[in-house]
Structure 1
Amino acid sequence: MPNAPIDHAAALAMWADYRAAHPTIATDAEEPPAERFGDHPELTDELLGLVLDGTKRATATLVAEFEAEGQALPRVGSHWIACDSTGAPRVILRSIELRVGPFTSVDAAFAYDEGEDDRSLESWRENHARYWRRAAAAIGIEWTEQHEVVFERFSVVWPPEAARVESASSATT
């Protein structure tokens, strides 16, 4: 079963609320993309749950996925809206660190910050290779370890209760 379509009207309303509350930070030239983690409902909601509880503060995406969707690569300071499997926007994320490199260039610190599985580099490589084989096939390419990956660290900035979890988890690490 696939994820439900994203509720773009609700995502834009969330963005408008954030911009009204933080006009000096929400300065993106265009409305941020509304996206989701994962490629099926269980994975989407599991990964979003890790964001909401403060565990997941990084993500990785194939450059080819951005190209297939006609999207520009993120930049430091840009925002995006993470949605759940029902298509509802749940949080606004702000990119705080970006690096592009091959799959093989990931390090243990990044794997830990992604917060998935046991947070080890080994499990990161295994799970992401499996995921990107599916994602690449979905856009008509064959995945290899040499594909370029966008390694992104982010902070949760909206809604306020989610941003408070961010502040609390930062204070304890």
Structure 2
Amino acid sequence: MDIETFWQDFKNRHPEIKTDHHDTYAMGSTDENATILAHLIARGIKTATTSAVDLYGPDEPLPFVGEYNVILDGHDQPICVTQTKVVETIPFNQVSAEHAYHEGEDDRTLASWRREHRAFFQAVYQQEGRTFTEEIPCCCEVFERID
């Protein structure tokens, strides 16, 4: 199903939702990872995510409370809809164990969260010709699967 049809079907099932605004994206650095993460979200295991604030483009808005998101798998197929409930900007080295747990990945510990996110951010920062530090501002988002 294409994304717009998926979104319209979602809105038809949820007539209380009056907005047409939604963000659409896949998570992760590979198609395989995107599919795994999308299914963790669909199952309600993954209820949070983290992005590097300073890697957003000048015209790319940060997530905001109340925003709806169509989550895609690694084949750009819509899997579910989430709504953002909390957005906080926190330095990488101050992200909490609770947030790491809600990300729902690996063993859900802060140690594994830091290891995996450090490697991911280091690679992306290097591609951008920038330097990753432990103090980078992170956008920590908590969401709820709606449908």
Asked whether the two chains share a fold, i.e. TM above 0.5, the reply is yes
Cα deviation for residue 48 of structure 1 reads 1.6
Counterpart of 2:96 (choices 88, 107, 131) is: 107
Aligned to 1:122: 111
Aligned to 1:80: 69
Counterpart of 1:154 (choices 140, 143, 147) is: 143
Between structures 1 and 2, the one with greater helix share:
1
Give, in whole Å, the separation in 1 of the partners of 2:104 and 2:52.
Answer: 18
Contact 1:113 1:119 (C-alpha < 8 Å) held by counterparts: yes
Query: Unaligned 5+ residue runs, structure 2?
Result: none
Q: Does 1:13 align with 2:5?
A: yes
Contact 2:23 2:67 (C-alpha < 8 Å) held by counterparts: no
Query: Unaligned 5+ residue runs, structure 1?
Result: 1-8, 159-173
CA root-mean-square deviation: 1.8
More displaced 10-residue stretch of structure 1: 134-143 or 108-117: 134-143
Q: Report Cα offsets for 1:107-148 as digits up to 9, x if no partner.
A: 111111111111111111111000111222333422222211
Aligned to 2:86: 97
Give, in whole Å, the separation in 2 of the partners of 1:140 and 1:91.
Answer: 34
Aligned to 2:30: 40
Aligned to 1:58: 48
Contact 1:18 1:26 (C-alpha < 8 Å) held by counterparts: no
Identical columns (%): 30
Cα deviation for residue 26 of structure 1 reads 4.6
Ranked by relative contact order (alpha carbons within 8 Å, sequence separation 6 or more), the top structure is: 2
Give, in whole Å, the separation in 1 of the partners of 2:84 and 2:8.
Answer: 18
Give, in whole Å, the separation in 2 of the partners of 1:62 and 1:102.
Answer: 9
Give, in whole Å, the separation in 2 of the partners of 1:138 and 1:79.
Answer: 29
Contact 1:80 1:93 (C-alpha < 8 Å) held by counterparts: yes
Q: Report Cα offsets for 1:34-75 as digits up to 9, x if no partner.
A: 11110112211221221122211110011123226x321111
Contact 1:96 1:152 (C-alpha < 8 Å) held by counterparts: yes
